Amino acid sequence: MVEKGFMICIDANEANVLWPFWAEALGYEAVETNEGAVDLVDLKGEGPLVWFQPVPETKTVKNRLHIDVLVDGSEVEGLEARLVDLGGTVIRRESRFDVLQDPEGNELCICWGA
């Protein structure tokens, strides 16, 4: 019987470029699968597994779904700097969240405050 729950799949041209970015963004750990791929896991067991689906096409339009990463306001600057070092881009700043893209253009928001 399959346990009920969910996973997050991220389409990737180069998973080895994306997984370090997402591991840092989510605070997850990388675990090599039996097939030699890398999955990201929440070692606290609270969050869903994140895996990367190899695809040939590149991203061409805005994501219709994205992840909001909730952090303390004091953590924003450091986290964003680490994500930029991993190939991310800050594309917009708002009063309580910043919009970033991973190295392949997938969006996420870093959110803080009420």
Instruction: Provide the residue ranges of all domains of the chain, joining segments of one domain with +.
Output: 8-111
- pLDDT at 2 (0 to 100): 56
- pLDDT at 14 (0 to 100): 95
What is the C-alpha separation between 73 and 69, in angstroms, rounded? 12
Q: Look up the pTM and report it.
A: 0.91
What is the C-alpha separation between 72 and 70, in angstroms, rounded? 7
CATH superfamily placement of domain 8-111: 2,3-Dihydroxybiphenyl 1,2-Dioxygenase, domain 1 (3.10.180.10)
Look-up: residue for tokens 């998973």?
15
The pLDDT profile of the chain, 114 residues, written as one tens digit per residue, is 557 789 999 999 999 999 999 999 999 999 999 998 999 999 999 999 999 999 999 998 888 899 999 999 999 999 999 999 999 999 999 999 999 999 999 999 999 986
